[in-house]
Structure 1
Amino acid sequence: MNFETTGWRRQALEGEVLDEVVIAQRRKRRRIIIAAAIAAILLIAAFFAFAGGEDPATTPAAGEGAEALPSVTVIVPGNEQISRTISATGTLAARRDMPVGVAGEGGEVSRVLVEAGDWVNAGQALATIERSVQSQQARQLAAQIQVARAEADLAQSELDRALALVDRGFISKADVDRKTATRDAAVARVRVAEAQLAETRARIGRLDVRAPASGLVLDRMVEPGQIVGPGSGALFRIAMGGEMELVAKLSQEDLARVTVGVPATVTPVGSTDSYQGQVWQVSPVIDPQTRQGDARISIPYQPDLRPGGFASATIVTGAIDAPLLPESAVLSDEKGSYVYIVDQKDMVVRRPVRTGQITDEGVAIVEGLNGTERVVRSAGGFLNPGEKVRPVRQKAGR
């Protein structure tokens, strides 16, 4: 039994040794597989990093050397018709502000017929003044006319009878002359009475405050019961024809470019609507303090335009044909304004220019370009004259 026990133990120990060897081999094989997988992953990553991520745009072209050429966006602006405009601000007012007051002797206001904001026609009554006394005077004068006409008719009848009897010798020539003078005096008294009645009626008519022209009532400064007269001042203000104007303040230089009749666009502050007008008057003098003058822009009647309001105006003073560039393409330094263009050899060239009108659409170039050049659109400050680039043309849109 001792031999059997010893043999069994030896066999067990040999099996354990064999198991440890197998496990060690398996572990070694696993490490080799993992290391190979990691190496493959690293190789794939390196391939994509050095081959797949390369930008074709920056790859050196054949014969250009190892250094990549920078890409720049260029435009060919061409020529456009550009309006020369002047921007200004000012105050709205009635073009013809007509104060309306009492034309006659005045009196107590009995009725006011219009309100501010009403449209009135020429000759329309705006207010009436109490006229009972003047009406009685008119009736009295009308009665006097009837009396004078009766006397004139009687004098004419007596003259006719005298003329019938003068040939018979019953009435002398002197009597006929007296009766003729009596008849003429009676006729004259009729005419005097008629003139007095017409005067009284005219005075009564002047008691009505009437509009001198068609237009818009801007202000009403009278109420019923108020005593008014020639010294009372204006009772109403009317904008003749409803026309408004913008009194635009311009510098001396801009004023010299404006002429009567040029078109203008007026936009009231706080409104999105614009209205077309034209300059109807240019100030002949310049304010010595501000060095500014007035350009008056007439505007047809519009309900949204109110005197006293503030508005801006764009005045068109002419038009030119010139290239139009975005503001990013125009640079400046102590030598003046300039742009970068790309020549036929794809070299950057500095080109001095003179700018003109600046609008929301871009900058007009009045000198230095003919419109056919390839102009660097932007980022010109990062380029240097003589540098070779790769131009990418883009449509000249603003």
Structure 2
Amino acid sequence: MSLSLPRARVIVPLLAALVLVAFAVWWLLLRAVAVPMATAQSGALPSQVHGPGTLQARVATTVAARINGRIVKLHADQGETVAADALLATLDTAETLNRQHSAKAAVTAALHQETAAEATVRHAQATLKLAEQDIARTRSLFKQGLVAKAELDKAVAAEATARGALASARATLKARQAEVARARAEIDVLDTQLGYAQVTAPFAGLIVRRYAEPGQTVSPGTPLFRLIDPSTLWVVMRVDESQSGAIKVGQPARIRLRTGAEVRGHVARIGLQSDTTTRELEVDVALDKAPQRYAIDEEALVAIRTGQAKGALFPASAVLRRGTQTGVLRVAGGRAVFTPIELGTVANGKAVATSGLKPGARIITRPTGIKPGTRVKPAKAPAR
């Protein structure tokens, strides 16, 4: 029986729409998407704490000028290794030498004044001794009635005057001696300052920066060089409080510098003061051996090995995060199922789930774009 033309015009589009709907349902719900899969294995990986940091030196100092002066010569430059007490810079000493000559002349003059004061004291002592003898004799004669009271009073006054003159002479001598001491102290200070004109390295090390240039006038405290001991290099690392409990002094670490160098190290010190804003604390990781090339304050990434994480081992590419949850897409009944896990550690392209995933479970190794509930099938291995 043939359909009439009007009915055919209605039924044919309807059938076509039903076919499209059926195809869409099959495409969205029934079609299995080919995805790469892997089977979780029982295993372990070294557990690690990762964090950023900067390269520093535990033993470091800024060598600065200690006197006013002009830089006559710089004997070292940044990048050079110097020995302890090595000459680094020479400052102009002309002004200090002039002051030293003046101070020596002041000492000579003060010594002459001291000698004169000593002579005055000796003279006053002799005068007092004569006055004391005279008053003793006059008192004896006065008792015998051989001299008048006026003579005795005169002798007493002379003795008092001589005693006062001696006290004054001794005070003058003391003042002259103080002047000599001050002048000699000034010479000692200037001698020390002349020594400061020769700027030397306080310890053997590497000059990482030169701040000054020849001809520059400097004052006390002006930086000249930055010196470090390369054997004390370490990375000042920042670690979240939640991870710090697993870190112990002596644990091995792997350090990757921004320049690309990779070196080994170990935990040397753990800070006890946490940052109230970032909730991080400082961990100092010492380098076992300095790399050939590095820069102080260079950025670094540190991985501290804190032990081993055991559980279900699987490719790290399978790790998926949904909001605050970490998990994987496990294959169950031919469909993708989001499974939350406790991630132990990730290393060398592998990950360990310490809970939430059992060995033998099939998981999707590249879950990007795959939604939970999607029908999946193993992707064919590429032909070689």
Task: Give the structure 1 partner of residue 48 of structure 2.
Answer: 85
Matched, 1:299 2:289: no
Task: Give the structure 2 partner of residue 117 of structure 1.
Answer: 79
**More off after superposition, 209-218 vs 107-116:** 209-218
Amino acid at match of 2:354: V
Indicate if the aligned counterparts of 2:41 and 2:360 stay in contact, CA closer than 8 A.
Answer: no
1:312-331 alignment runs, 5 A limit: 312-316=301-305, 318-320=306-308, 322-323=310-311, 325-327=313-315
Count residues in correspondence.
Answer: 287
Task: Give the structure 1 partner of residue 102 of structure 2.
Answer: 140
Task: Give the structure 1 partner of residue 70 of structure 2.
Answer: 108
Aligned partner (choices 335, 352, 356) of residue 364 of structure 1: 352
Q: Give the superposed CA RMSD.
A: 4.5
Once the two structures are TM-superposed, the CA of residue 266 in structure 1 deviates from its matched residue by 1.2
TM-score, reference length from structure 1: 0.56
Answer 1 or 2: which has greater strand percent: 2
Matched, 1:181 2:171: yes
TM-score, reference length from structure 2: 0.57
Give me the whole-angstrom Cα distance separating, in 1, the residues matched to 2:243 and 2:343.
20
Amino acid at match of 1:84: S
Indicate if the aligned counterparts of 1:258 and 1:282 stay in contact, CA closer than 8 A.
Answer: no
Aligned partner (choices 67, 92, 97) of residue 130 of structure 1: 92
Q: 1:158 to 1:333 in 2, by over 3 A?
A: closer
Tell me, what secondary structure is at the counterpart of 1:376? coil
Once the two structures are TM-superposed, the CA of residue 308 in structure 1 deviates from its matched residue by 4.9
User: Once the two structures are superposed, what CA deviation does each residue of 1:373-395 show, in whole Å capped at 9, x if it has no partner?
Assistant: 9x4397899xxxxxxxxxxxxxx
Amino acid at match of 1:284: S
Percent identical residues: 19
Once the two structures are TM-superposed, the CA of residue 132 in structure 1 deviates from its matched residue by 1.6
Can you give the 5+ residue segments of structure 1 that lack an aligned partner in the other structure?
A: 1-72, 341-350, 382-398
Once the two structures are TM-superposed, the CA of residue 196 in structure 1 deviates from its matched residue by 1.9
1:230-379 alignment runs, 5 A limit: 233-239=222-228, 243-248=232-237, 252=240, 261=249, 263=251, 264-269=253-258, 273-278=262-267, 280-281=270-271, 284-285=274-275, 295=282, 297-300=284-287, 302=290, 303-316=292-305, 318-320=306-308, 322-323=310-311, 325-327=313-315, 336-337=327-328, 354-360=342-348, 362-367=350-355, 375-376=359-360
Amino acid at match of 2:360: V
Indicate if the aligned counterparts of 1:86 and 1:254 stay in contact, CA closer than 8 A.
Answer: no
Q: 1:116 to 1:319 in 2, by over 3 A?
A: same
Task: Give the structure 2 partner of residue 229 of structure 1.
Answer: 219
Amino acid at match of 1:196: E
Q: 1:352 to 1:196 in 2, by over 3 A?
A: closer
Indicate if the aligned counterparts of 1:219 and 1:238 stay in contact, CA closer than 8 A.
Answer: yes
Give me the whole-angstrom Cα distance separating, in 2, the residues matched to 1:243 and 1:154.
61
Larger radius of gyration: 1
Can you give the 5+ residue segments of structure 2 that lack an aligned partner in the other structure?
A: 1-37, 134-158, 332-338, 366-384
Amino acid at match of 1:246: V
